Amino acid sequence: MTVLLVVLLVIGVLIATVLLRTAMQKPTAAKTVVIEYQESERSEGYGQKLSQMIQCETVSSRDNMKVDKFYKFQEVLEQLFPRVFTTCIKTDIEGSLLLRWQGKASEAPILLMSHQDVVEAPGEWTHPPFSGDVEDGVVWGRGTVDTKGNLFCILQSVEELIEQGYIPEQDIYVASSNTEEIRGEGAPKTVAYLKAQGVRPKLLLDEGGMILENPIGGVNGTYAMVGVLEKGYGDLEFTARGTGGHASAPGKNTPLVRIAKFMAEVEEKSPFKVEFYDSVTEMFRRLTPNMVFPMKLVFANLWCFAPILKKVMPSISPAGAAMLQTTIAFTMAKGSDGANVLPQEAKVWANLRFSHHQPTEESIAIITELAKKYDIETKVIYKDNPDPIVDYRSDEFKTVERTINDLFPGVGVVPYPMTGGTDAKFYQEICDNCIRFAPLYINAQQYGSIHGIDENIHARTLTKGVDFFQSIIQNYHTNL
């Protein structure tokens, strides 16, 4: 009886603790904040400039590496931002653009990045993808969000500061590769050039997170999602071999069947470990106050529910689960060339994004061992390593956070573990603080249009984007 009472008492204390910790999570201003913009001549002018940038078709392709279109695009940039191109030192890196705005010193430069190239634009668009149509203050076209809108804000901020006679405390670099969308050589070659010049940026800002409403299912409010890390990247090929033969007399465990069993096991139960590491825990900590009740109870008490959450997270949110583990996505497959022929060889290709707690080599070893179970060979086509994580307690992150707070009062600022890739990944060898954030407020449709149809952005959101980069340039070093 005494033991039962003790057990009941412990359970009661646990329940009370869980409920108390949940009740302490009071909603923040981010839950109800409204970002207000006013139409102005400034936003109208910005929209017209971005429109001209969108009208330049700059689709990058591995099948066509000609750079003529990028030089034509840069000619347009020179017309739109004349002070930038007459004041800054321009370096051409095979179509990728690098600008240096000389400051009073060069020991701790800032590097601002946003790529020139865009993905293809298939499908039926409301406005032609390279029209740059402006309607009711909205600029339409491929690249408005990813990422000519951000590139505009960077160049316009520098253009206006130069016009005002401002001289930066440290050198300011602007880098814009022409191969980001195809993971090409633009950024690596730019890094090699900067490294040869002895340039080590103190702060780097590239595309990444943006300002979104309800960024994760079950979270209410408006947040600036500031990317602090990128996972590693890998392309792997898996091959199963057999004797082939006629489809009229199939044997058991033919190559395609073994490949299918392998994929099914990976799909049913991922072999990779789920982990709540520091950055993702901090992200959820900042989002918890504005979560719906069931989620709030769980995330306010990760000390209690983390083991369960690790198991169910893939079912709740694939995007959330991708932040917590190495992911594998099977993307291409090949069997025989005839519908009635058993293949002697079957292949499947997969894309992996490696987590920091199970980095590249460990994750590859895990999936290779699982493939062996089905007599499947593994070949690494490409691999790289996860980036160093930017500490959300660092001066660099706090500078970005403070700037967001000044320009977007009430908006929550959240360190964001990115699951996609950016050019910033290539800069880790010369910069310790690669932050991925574009200071643009976009809605759900605009976010969904990235790499999709009807990509667009409101011209008025560009105004605070320009203000953001000007503030970073003027205040970063004085805030340290």
Q: What is the pLDDT of residues 172-182, one digit of tens each?
A: 999 999 999 99
**pLDDT score of 236:** 98
Give the bridge partners for 369, in sequence order.
Answer: none
Contact 240, 375 (CB under 8 A): yes
Q: Predicted confidence band at 391 (pLDDT cuts at 50, 70, 90)?
A: very high
The pLDDT tens digits for 37-72 are: 877 899 999 999 999 999 999 999 988 888 999 999
Q: Give the residue extent of every domain in the chain.
A: 1-31+274-302, 41-230+387-479
> What residues contact 421, with CB distance under 8 A and at least 6 apart?
183, 230, 233
22-42 mean pLDDT: 90
**pLDDT at residue 251, as a whole number:** 81
Degrees to nearest 5, angle at CA 130 with 128 and 133? 65
Which H or E element spans position 416?
Answer: strand 412-418
Quote the Cα angle for 79-83-86, to 5°: 90
pLDDT above 90: residue 33: yes
d(CA 1, CA 253): 58
What's the mean per-residue pLDDT of the chain?
A: 94
Per-residue pLDDT at 480: 64
Burial class from Cβ neighbours inside 10 Å (0-12, 13-18, 19+) for residue 447 reads middle
For the cut 80, the answer to whether the pLDDT of residue 154 exceeds it is yes
Query: Residue 370's pLDDT band (boundaries 50, 70, 90)?
Result: very high
pLDDT-wise least confident of 2-6, 236-240, 243-247 = 2-6
Nearest to 332 by CA among 315, 345, 350, 314: 350
pLDDT digits (tens, 9 = 90+) for 181-205: 998 999 999 999 999 999 999 999 9
Q: How confident is the model at residue 1 (pLDDT cuts 50, 70, 90)?
A: low
Task: Kindly state the average pLDDT of the residues 227-256.
Answer: 90
How far apart CA 442 and CA 82 sit, in angstroms, is 29
With a cut of 70, say whether residue 20 has pLDDT above it. yes
Lowest mean pLDDT among 42-56, 190-204, 303-317, 358-372: 303-317
The helix (run of H) or strand (run of E) holding residue 176 is strand 170-176
Name the more confident of 251 and 111: 111
- CATH class of segment(s) 41-230+387-479: alpha beta
In total, the chain counts a number of residues equal to 480
Predicted local confidence at residue 398, as pLDDT = 96
Q: Mean pLDDT, to the nearest integer, of 420-425?
A: 92
- Mean pLDDT, residues 449-476 taken together: 96
Is the pLDDT at 10 greater than 80? The verdict is: no
User: What count of Cα atoms within 13 Å lies in the side-chain half-sphere of residue 14?
Assistant: 10
Q: What is the pLDDT of residues 120-137, one digit of tens each?
A: 999 999 999 999 999 999
